[in-house]
Structure 1
C-alpha cells in the first residue's frame, strides 16, 4: 500500500531532492505543492499522512501554513525542512504542531532518523517496487535560488543568535545584472532613505566578488535601543555595530555558499563607504567594478523593530563559470 506524502516548497530543487531522498520502503505516493496556499488546497482534497514543509515561501509561508493546518484541524504529521535555522524559528514551528525539524541542505541520515521516530518506515526489510515520481525540471536559476536560500538562512541564524532576536527571513533575489541594472537595484533597496554602508571583498578558488551591507537611517534609532548605545558615543558605537553586522552577515552567508559549493571563501576586512549618506554615493563606489554580475540580494528585518539591513553579493563576471561548475552536481539526476 502506498503512503501519501505532500512536499511543499517553492524551490524545484528542494522538492526534487526531498522526493529522491525518501526511502523505497516508505512506498511514498508523492504530491508537490509550490507554496502554503497550494498545500492547504491539496490537503483539503487528499488525506495525506506526512508533509514536508519549507518555511520561506511566497503566497503563504511555512508558519502561516502550520497555523492554517492547526485552525482547520487537519490530521497530518508535518516535518519542517528549512534553511531558516534560527532557534526562535524552530521553537515556533514546534509550538504550531510540527513533529520534527530538518535543516537544509537535506541530510539523508537525519531524514531517516526522523522517519524512524515517526514510525512511518517499516523496520523489517520488504520487497519494494519503487513508485514512479514525476520530478520537477530544474533550471539554472532554481539551483542558485536554493543555494542562496540556505546561505541567507545561515546569515539570519548568526544575526539572530548574536543579538538574541528573531530575524524575518524573506525570499532572496538572484539575478544577472548589467552595471546600470545593478545601480537600479541598489536604489530600490534604499527606498530613498539615507544609509550607512560597508563593503567587503571575498574570494575562493578563483571565485571572487564584493558584498555590500546597507543599514537604512530609519533603522538607527531602533538599533541604538536594541544595543543600548550610550548617548554620548553614538557615531562610534554605530560604526562598530555596522562593522559587526557586516562581518556576521557576510561571513555566515559565504560559509553557507561554501558548504554547498565545497569552496572555502576568504573575506577582507569591511571598508566603510559612509555613514548617513545618500544611496547615490554608494552607487558611485560600484561604478567601474563590474560589467555583468550575478547578484544575491536579501533584506533582513528584525521582528518588532524598524531595523532593516540589506545584503547584496556581487560576483565578478569571470566567477560565473566556476560557480556553475561547482554547483553542477545539483543538476544531476
Structure 2
C-alpha cells in the first residue's frame, strides 16, 4: 500500500472553481495524488515554494499573477515543479510562450481525462499500482452558476481570440470575464465604464435556441478601427468602415457564441448583425437603444491587442427568461 509520504504533491492552480473541480475529477483514479488548490497565481506560487506542487496544473488567465508570470517565477527561482498548462487561451503565441517559459505540456480547456493522463505519463511519473486514495475523495470546490458561466465564457473567448489573433497577426490579451445580472441602469453604467467618453461604433447580433435568447453587443473605439484597418492593410473610408466592423463582429461574436453553444449543448442561431451606432458616444448609443435592454444576464469580455492601443468590448446579454435554462445546462455539466 502506498504511504502518505509516497503521495505525489499536485497543485491545481486556476481562478475558476469549476475548472478546478473538472480537473480534479479528471485525474487518473489509480495515481496517489495529494491535491492542493489555488485560485490565483500568488497563492499558487506560495504552494509551489512550500513543496505542494511537484506537479502543477496551471491556468494562464488568472488574477494577481497570471500563468505566464507564475511560469517565469518558477524558472527564475529554480523551483522544483513540473508544470502542465491547461488554458482556454489557445493562441499559437500563448502556447509558444508557455513552453518557452518551461511548461512541459499545453492542454486546451476543457481537457479530457485521457489527455490529462497522457500528459502526466509524459512527465516520467511512475504511479504505484495501489493508490493511496481515489481522486474522488479529494475535496472538490463548490461551484456557483456565475462562476461556471464565467469559466465557459473564458473558454469561448479564447477561441475567438485565436481566430482574431490569426487574422490580425497579433497577440490578443485576454481578461477574466465579468458575469452579472444587471438592471437597465446598471447595464448603462457598465457600458459607460467600459468605453468612457470616446466615440464608438457598435454592432448588435441577436441569438436564440434551446430556450436561450439574447443579444451580443460588440463595441469599438473609432480610433481603434483605424488601427485595425492598418493591421489588415485596408483603406478605411465611409463605405469600408461598416464592412470592417461587420467582418470583425463575425469573427469575435460568432466564435464566442459557437464556443458557448458547444459547451452547453445548445444550438444557437445567430441573426443578422445590426449597426446600432456609428461615430457616437456611449450616452448616445444608450439613448438610441434603451428600449431594447431590459434586465439581463451580462457577460462582459474586453479584448486588447499587444503593442497596440486597440480594445474591443463584447457583451453577451442574455434575457432574464434564459437564466433558468442556462442554469439547467450548467448543472448537467457539473
Query: Normalization by structure 1: what TM-score?
Result: 0.94
Tell me the distance in 2 between the aligned counterparts of 1:48 and 1:187. 42
- Who is 1:99 aligned against? 104
Name 2:84's counterpart in structure 1. Answer: 79
Corresponding residue number in structure 2 for 1:129: 133
Partner of residue 167, structure 2: 162
Candidates 36, 45, 48, aligned match of 1:40: 45
Matched, 1:281 2:284: yes
**1:62 has 2:93 as partner:** no
| Alignment pair present for 1:256 and 2:263 | no
Structure 1 runs (4+) deviating above 6 angstroms are: none
Aligned partner of 1:237 in structure 2 is 240
**71-80 or 42-51, which deviates more:** 42-51
Match of residue 184 from structure 1:
189
Q: 1:137 to 1:226 in 2, by over 3 A?
A: same
Other-structure match for 1:204: 209
Give the length in aligned residue pairs. 328
8 Å contact kept, 2:209–2:267:
yes
Match of 2:326 in 1: 323
Name the residue aligned to 2:10: 5
Structure 2 Cα separation of the partners of residues 321 and 47 of structure 1: 39
Alpha-carbon separation, structure 1, partners of 2:8 and 2:54: 7
> Quick one: distance in 1 between partners of 2:323 and 2:10?
37
Deviation at 1:249, TM superposition (A): 0.9
Which 5+ residue runs of structure 1 have no aligned equivalent? none
User: d(CA) in 2 for partners of 1:150 and 1:298?
Assistant: 12
Q: CA deviation at 1:127?
A: 5.7
Task: Sort the Cα spacing of 1:34 and 1:281 in 2 relative to 1 into closer, same or farther, 3 A.
Answer: same
1: CA distance, partners of 2:322 / 2:209: 10
For the residues of structure 2 that align with 1:198 and 1:246, how far apart are their CA atoms?
7
CA separation in 2, counterparts of 1:144 and 1:305?
29
Report which stretch shifted further, 105-114 or 54-63: 105-114
* Residue 249 (structure 2) pairs with residue 246 (structure 1): yes
**In structure 2, what is the Cα distance between the partners aligned to 1:125 and 1:44?**
29
Distance 2:176 2:301 in 1: 7
Instruction: Identify the residue that residue 27 of structure 1 maps to in structure 2.
Output: 32
2:32/2:131 contact within 8 Å kept:
no
Name stretches of at least 5 consecutive residues in structure 2 with no aligned partner: 1-5
- Larger mean CA deviation between 158-167 and 91-100 belongs to 158-167
Q: Is the 8 A contact 2:296 2:320 kept in 1?
A: yes
In structure 1, the partner of 2:21 is: 16
Q: Select which of 214, 222, 228 maps to 1:223.
A: 228
